[in-house]
Structure 1
Amino acid sequence: MPGLRSSPPALLLLFLLAVPRGSRAGQALEPGSRSAAAAARVALQYRNCQAGSLGGLRALGQVRKATLKNIPESGHKYYLQFSTEDYRTGEDAGNCLATVLYPKKKSRPVVSIKCSHTKDQKEIQEEDNRFYQRIRHQSKPITANNIPDSYGNIEPALEPVWALAVAGSSSIMWEKSTETLGYFLAQVKSVRQWIRKDDFLEFDYTVLLHEMPTQEIISCHMRLTWLPGRPLKVKHFCASEGHGAEEGSGAESGSAAAPSAEKGASF
Structure 2
Amino acid sequence: MILWVLLASVALSGVTTGSPTVTAHPDAASENRVQATAVVAVEEVMETGELNPNHYPAQRPAKVVQHYLNTLHGSPYKLFGLHKVKRAYAEDVPGSGRKYQLELSVQEVVQKQTTASCSAEVIFPREATHPPLQVNILSYGDDLLKINVSVQEEALYQQYKKNHSLLFAQNLPDSYGHMEPEHVPFWHLGAVASSFVMLGESTEYTLYNMAQVANVTQLPSDDDLLKFEYDVLLHEMVSQDIIAWKVLITWSPPEGVKVLKMEKRDYTVTNLKTTLL
TM range (shorter): 0.7 to 0.9
Deviation string for 1:164-198 (max 9, x for gaps)?
11111100000000000121111111111012122
Equivalent pair of 1:60/1:83 in contact (CA under 8 Å): yes
Q: What aligned pairs does 1:213-252 form with structure 2 within 5 A after superposition?
A: 213-234=238-259, 235-239=261-265
Deviation string for 1:89-110 (max 9, x for gaps)?
4433322111000011357521
- Structure 2 residue identity aligned to 1:227: S
Q: What aligned pairs does 1:147-166 form with structure 2 within 5 A after superposition?
A: 147-166=172-191
- Structure 1 residue identity aligned to 2:123: L
* Aligned residue number for residue 36 of structure 1: 58
1: CA distance, partners of 2:180 / 2:164: 16
Relative to the length of structure 1, the TM-score reads 0.74
How far does residue 124 in structure 1 lie from its aligned partner after superposition? 3.7
Q: What aligned pairs does 1:69-80 form with structure 2 within 5 A after superposition?
A: 69-80=91-102
- Structure 2 residue identity aligned to 1:36: A
* Aligned residue number for residue 112 of structure 1: 136
- Structure 2 residue identity aligned to 1:111: V
Equivalent pair of 2:76/2:186 in contact (CA under 8 Å): no
Equivalent pair of 1:134/1:160 in contact (CA under 8 Å): no
1: CA distance, partners of 2:121 / 2:181: 36
Q: Which has the higher strand share?
A: 2
Equivalent pair of 1:218/1:239 in contact (CA under 8 Å): yes
| Bigger relative CO (Cα 8 Å, ≥ 6 apart) | 2
Relative to the length of structure 2, the TM-score reads 0.72
Equivalent pair of 2:78/2:111 in contact (CA under 8 Å): no
How far does residue 119 in structure 1 lie from its aligned partner after superposition? 5.0
Instruction: Classify the secondary structure of the residue corresponding to 1:118.
Output: helix
Residues 1:93 and 1:186: Cα distance change in structure 2 (over 3 Å): same
- Does residue 27 in structure 1 map to residue 49 in structure 2? yes
- Structure 2 residue identity aligned to 1:46: Y
Residues 1:76 and 1:95: Cα distance change in structure 2 (over 3 Å): same
* Aligned residue number for residue 196 of structure 2: 171
Q: What aligned pairs does 1:1-267 form with structure 2 within 5 A after superposition?
A: 27-105=49-127, 108-113=132-137, 114-118=139-143, 121=146, 123-136=148-161, 138=163, 140-234=165-259, 235-239=261-265
How far does residue 220 in structure 1 lie from its aligned partner after superposition? 0.5
Alignment RMSD: 2.1
Equivalent pair of 2:114/2:144 in contact (CA under 8 Å): no
* Aligned residue number for residue 270 of structure 2: none
Equivalent pair of 1:203/1:223 in contact (CA under 8 Å): yes
How far does residue 134 in structure 1 lie from its aligned partner after superposition? 4.5
Equivalent pair of 1:185/1:210 in contact (CA under 8 Å): yes
Residues 1:172 and 1:130: Cα distance change in structure 2 (over 3 Å): same
Number of residue pairs matched by the alignment:
216
Instruction: Classify the secondary structure of the residue corresponding to 1:192.
Output: strand
* Aligned residue number for residue 16 of structure 1: none
Deviates more, 1:50-59 or 1:162-171: 50-59
Instruction: Classify the secondary structure of the residue corresponding to 2:71.
Output: helix
1: CA distance, partners of 2:74 / 2:114: 20
- Structure 2 residue identity aligned to 1:237: E
List gaps (5 residues or longer) in structure 1: 1-25, 242-267
Equivalent pair of 2:75/2:188 in contact (CA under 8 Å): no
Seq. identity, %: 33
